[in-house]
Amino acid sequence: MIADLVSKDWVKVRKVKEEDLRKMERDKEFANLGSGEKECIVLCKQMRILNKDDIVAIIRDLKEKDYYEF
């Protein structure tokens, strides 16, 4: 996925819906993420790129690998 993104000359940006972000913020694990991580996950969910299991895997990986924030 990263290789595909890097090969693009442009990236389309969409604003995350506040109501979707508020719904997800009720989750304890999600609340511990940084703002950029939260917005990316919500945006992917809105675009139907991620499902619940994908989000759980990303959060777990961020906890294990992003030692600066956790």
User: How far is residue 45's CA from residue 20's CA, in Å, rounded to a whole number?
Assistant: 9
Within-domain flag for 4: no
Question: If you average pLDDT over every residue of the chain, what do you get?
Answer: 77
Its domain, for residue 32, covers 16-65
User: How far is residue 48's CA from residue 56's CA, in Å, rounded to a whole number?
Assistant: 15
Within-domain flag for 29: yes
pTM above 0.85, yes or no: no
How confident is the model at residue 54, as a pLDDT?
83
φ and ψ of 37, to 5 deg:
-65, -45
Within-domain flag for 7: no
CB 49 within 8 A of CB 41: no
- Count: domains in the chain: 1
How confident is the model at residue 51, as a pLDDT?
81
How confident is the model at residue 56, as a pLDDT?
80
How confident is the model at residue 4, as a pLDDT?
74
Within-domain flag for 55: yes
Which residue ranges of the chain lie beneath pLDDT 70? 1-2, 5-6, 11, 67-70
How confident is the model at residue 2, as a pLDDT?
66
Cβ within 8 Å of residue 70, ≥6 positions away = 32, 62, 63
